[in-house]
Each structure stands twice: as structure tokens, then as C-alpha cells.
Amino acid sequence: MQDLTDRKEWQRLATHHRDIASSHMREWFDTDHTRSSCFSIQAGEILLDYSRNRITQETLQNLIGLATAIDLKKHIEALFTGQPVNTSENRPALHTALRDPSASLALNHGQDIPGMIAAARKQQAAFVQRIHSGEWKGVTGKPIQHIVNLGIGGSHLGPLTCIQALKDFAITHLQCHFISCVDSTHFNEVLQQIDPETSLFIVSSKSFTTLETLTNAQAMMASMKQTFGEQAIQHHFVAVTAAPDKAQAFGLPKENIFPLWEWVGGRYSIWSAVGLSVMLMIGVKHFDAFLQGAYEMDQHFRHADFSHNMPVIMALLGIWYTNFFGANAHVIAPYSQRLRHLIAYLQQAEMESNGKHVHHTPIKEDYMTGSVIFGEAGCNAQHTYHQLLHQGKHVIPVDFILIGQSQNKQDDILLASALSQAQALMRGKTYDEAYHAFLAAQCSTDEAARLARHSVIPGNRPSNILLLNRITPHNLGALIALYEHKIFVQGVIWGVNSFDQWGVELGKQLLPHILKNLDSQQASSMMDANMSHIINHIKSTRNEI
């Protein structure tokens, strides 16, 4: 296989980059009033306006040329048809099957995948019905009022993001809480907010080996058993896992276990029973709409021509900036409090998927992969890091995620703020503009010249506008699927496996030994001297308390 950077399509992009790197977007906007409509894509209820990018039609053609040369179409089909796209673990990544109502997937290694999905969905729906109707009761006979999701990473961020985003679609008075990290303060805070007699704990862990989740689950189970006896477990704990044997060995009754499968990646699992807390909050019908939105985005991704394919275009723009402009970060800017957890969700989705340097095949590693994802909801970002976006030396593309429907004046201010930021990033402010503005504000010529220097804003900073009319289960499903596919395309181009996460393993392996040393009364042993130094220091400060 040819190295990516040796491909003629890559070289063509490098030459093209040299040709247009000094062009300013403001000139393109001033001379072409159709730019916004030319560089827009509508997919379902989502509009992508990507006109504020440092691209011309030729850039697009070159980027699409690269995607075509690496046979992206074939890779997309491999994803949808259950080929082992997770090459290091030799598994398919079938999150798309979880939202495919036509259940057209062929039997995979003898497994009736659509049948398994349908059975699991039925089990979830029946459970939700029992909780909503009050038929399922706590150990003292009271109906459930609190849901506590115990999970981390993909087993936490999906439910957290969706429940916050879809608050307006909640159909119950259930209250949902989350415990993810091991942190006794957070654990105790949640304990204070719930009533154990009316609480249901969902232990969500694909592997059922995750230390944080198991530690929290164990502590919660111990506390419940101590108060209500052994039978509390059956009434108050359910599990979502791909390792039912481990969950049972942990003490969870078999009938309280909801399945997940190896062929669903943890950070792609919100569509499965990992979304149980979401289904409990918004109900089965809305959850179906959430799946339907994702399904429609899947169809768009699978069938739309690359030039009108939203995930493909977003992915290619990311490649353009990362590999040709040297950008190494990307901002997610949802101008909506409801979408605030989407930032962390996409942080895991993108960084755990593509934060890799190991390629499918041994190739030259002479290009960057992955992006640092960060962000903040709404105007808060403008008052924290936007200064650097406007005048710093980094090129950091931004995805502005906007909700068109406005309830009142405040929402219009929010929308206008986002649009102003996108415009300011694109246009910037020249020295002359700044100078004349200061003169108009009655500054002396000397003062105007001095201040103008500081207020020059280079502009030419890229951003996308993603516009949703409303946040609905359907649109949220489509939005999340859009990013999943964007990530997949980038992984394909970079030649990394977006579906493993070996990088997080080493820290997990080191932990037990460090924990043992931290817990022991003696001075730490068998550690390297520098680690012993900090551990002994921690212990000495503890002794002082």
C-alpha cells in the first residue's frame, strides 16, 4: 500500500495549499455573493454552511480526489456491512446496525445481529414500561423516582449528553443522576440527592472490568445491602454489559442484565442499552426517533456523493487544516446550554478514536493524526478562549452548532453572538479599519496609530456553522451520527483504527501497584525513585492531618 504522503493526491493538496495559503477569505466573500450557498449542505434537518473555510472549489476537488484515491467508498461499505474494521481486535463496529430499522444486515459469524438487537430493544422497552407504570418497585414497595447511571467514558457521556440535550422531551418525573469518576465527594453528593428506597442504579460497563465503575457499584451495593438487606440488589440494580458472566459474578441477577456486544464500541454505544437511562427519561417513542435521526444520517453518509456528503466534507476539512495548515486543535462550540455535554462527548469520540500514531500497515509516520477537541457552550467561550482564536498564532477551526428556533430575545442574542463570532473570525480587522475607528472615536493620530496596532485581527480563521432548527431526539441522533462518521472518514484517511483504544491501557496497568503503595503503611517500595518520592510525600502529609 502506498504511503499517504507519497500519493499524488496528497502532493497535489500540498502544492494547492502553497498556492492559496496567503489568500484571505474576506476577499472571496467580497467578490462572491453565492459562496455561502455553494458551500452548504442540507442533510435532513441539519444545515452545514462551510463557506467560512480556506477553500475554493479546487480545494474541494483535491480533497475529494484524496478520499476517492484511498477508496473511501469501499471503507464505508465495510463499516455498514459488518467487516472487521476494528482491525487490531478483528471485529466489526456495528453501531449503525443499532439504528437500522430495516434490519437488513446479514448474519455475522453465525450471529443473528438484527435479531439480537431487536430482542434487546424489546427487553429495554418492557423494563421502561414497568418503571414508568410503577409496576417495578423498590425493596420497600415504593416506585422508582431516581435513576443513577454508574459508568464512565462511553458508558457515561452518551447518556449524560442526551439526557441534558433532550430535557424538553422527558416524559416522566424521574430524576437522573450520574456517577462516573471515583471521587468520594461526588459519590456522597449524589447520595444526598437521592432517596435510596426509590433509586435504580444502572451499572453500565461494556467490559465490566472498569475500576471506576466497579468501585462505585460495589460501594453502592454495599450501602444498599447494609440498609435493606441482600434483596435490595434485585430491586435496585441493573447492569448493561457485554460481559454478563462478570456482572453475575459481581452479584447482579441474570434477569437484570441488559446486553451489549463486542461489535459495539464503548464510545459508539449510546444507541444500545447503554442508552437505557435516556429511554427511561424520554420514553421509547422518542428514543426511536433518536435512532431514526441517526439512521437517516447513516443513509446520507452511505449514499450521498462526496461533494454533498456532510460527514465526508467535515472530515476532509479537518484533514485540510490538520495536515496542511498545521492545526492541531478543533473547537466544538454549541450555542445551546442543552448541548453543553456534547463537547466532552465529542472529546472522547474524536480523541479516543483518532488519537493514534499506529497505522493499519507499517508506513511512514510523517503526518499528524487526531485533533485536540475542546469547547464551551454559548457565549462563555467568547469570554474565555476566543481571544486566542482571533488574535493568537494558532489556526483552530471552530464548529458553531446553532439552534435556529428562538423562544425569545435572549435566544436571538445567542444566535447573533455565534454568527458575529464566525464573521469576525473570517473577516478580522485590518490596520486601516482599526486606525479610522480610533480616529472616529476622537483619538489623536498618534494614539490611533498606537492602538490600531493592538486591535488588528488577522481573520482568515476557519469555522463551520451547523444549524439545527430545534433540538429534538431525531436531530440529536443525526448530529451525533454525523460526528461519528466524520471521525470514521478521518481514521480511514489517516490509516488508523478508530475503534480501539490501546493507549488508555498502560495507566490502568500501573494503577494497582501504585494504589498498593499508597495504601500501605510502610514507605513505598518497588517503585522508581521519583514515583516513591511523591507517594512518600503524600503519605507524610496525610500523617500530619
Contact status: 213 vs ligand F6P (CB under 6 A): yes
Contact status: 397 vs ligand F6P (CB under 6 A): no
Nearer to ligand F6P, 388 or 504 (CB): 504
Q: Strand 46-49's sheet: what is its strand order?
A: 40-43, 46-49, 463-468, 398-403, 329-334, 372-375
Contact status: 207 vs ligand F6P (CB under 6 A): yes
Contact status: 266 vs ligand F6P (CB under 6 A): yes
225 as an active site residue: the answer is no
**Is the torsion defined by CA of 407, 410, 412, 415 positive or negative?**
negative
The distance of closest approach from Cβ of residue 360 to ligand F6P in the complex, given in angstroms and rounded to an integer, is 19
Nearer to ligand F6P, 16 or 206 (CB): 206
Where does residue 223 rank: exposed (0-12), middle (13-18), buried (19+ CB within 10 A)? middle
Nearer to ligand F6P, 180 or 199 (CB): 180
Nearer to ligand F6P, 213 or 382 (CB): 213
Contact status: 206 vs ligand F6P (CB under 6 A): yes
The distance of closest approach from Cβ of residue 161 to ligand F6P in the complex, given in angstroms and rounded to an integer, is 13
Nearer to ligand F6P, 138 or 151 (CB): 151
The C-alpha cell at 245 is: 458472566
Contact status: 267 vs ligand F6P (CB under 6 A): yes
308 as an active site residue: the answer is no
The distance of closest approach from Cβ of residue 289 to ligand F6P in the complex, given in angstroms and rounded to an integer, is 25
Nearer to ligand F6P, 72 or 242 (CB): 242
Residue corresponding to grid cell 453518509:
301
Query: Cα separation of 500 and 518, whole Å?
Result: 31
357 as an active site residue: the answer is no
Contact with ligand F6P (CB under 6 A) among 107, 222, 388, 504: 504
Residue corresponding to grid cell 493526491:
9
Of residues 430, 474, 419, 115, the one with CA closest to residue 438? 430
Contact status: 205 vs ligand F6P (CB under 6 A): yes
Query: Cα separation of 167 and 282, whole Å?
Result: 8
Q: What's the farthest any 2 CA atoms get from each other in the chain? A: 82
Of residues 387, 398, 355, the one with CA closest to residue 494? 355
The one catalytic residue among 508, 513, 516, 533: 508
Stretch in the footprint of ligand F6P (CB under 6 A) among 202-210, 284-292, 298-306, 438-446? 202-210
The distance of closest approach from Cβ of residue 242 to ligand F6P in the complex, given in angstroms and rounded to an integer, is 8
Query: Cα separation of 475 and 481, whole Å?
Result: 10
The distance of closest approach from Cβ of residue 394 to ligand F6P in the complex, given in angstroms and rounded to an integer, is 27
Query: Cα separation of 433 and 459, whole Å?
Result: 13
Contact status: 210 vs ligand F6P (CB under 6 A): yes
The C-alpha cell at 162 is: 442526551
Nearer to ligand F6P, 95 or 286 (CB): 95
H or E element, residue 466: strand 463-468
The distance of closest approach from Cβ of residue 249 to ligand F6P in the complex, given in angstroms and rounded to an integer, is 15
The one catalytic residue among 197, 352, 376, 484: 352
Nearer to ligand F6P, 287 or 499 (CB): 499
Q: Which residues of 95-117 are buried (b: 16+ CB within 10 A; e: fewer)?
A: bbbbbbeeeebeebeeeebbeeb
Residues contacting ligand F6P: total by CB under 6 A = 14
Contact status: 353 vs ligand F6P (CB under 6 A): no
SS (H, E, C) 47-100: EEECCCCCCCHHHHHHHHHHHHHCCHHHHHHHHHCCCCCECCCCECCCHHHHHC
The distance of closest approach from Cβ of residue 160 to ligand F6P in the complex, given in angstroms and rounded to an integer, is 12
The distance of closest approach from Cβ of residue 511 to ligand F6P in the complex, given in angstroms and rounded to an integer, is 13
Query: Cα separation of 261 and 270, whole Å?
Result: 13
C-beta of residue 368 within 8 angstroms of C-beta of residue 403: no
The one catalytic residue among 33, 303, 383, 454: 383
Q: Among all residues, whose Cβ is closest to ligand F6P?
A: 153
Q: Which residues, numbered 146-185, are part of the site for ligand F6P (CB under 6 A)?
A: 152-155
**Binding-site ranges for ligand F6P (CB under 6 A):** 152-155, 205-207, 210, 213, 266-267, 352, 501, 504
Q: Which residues are catalytic?
A: 352, 383, 508
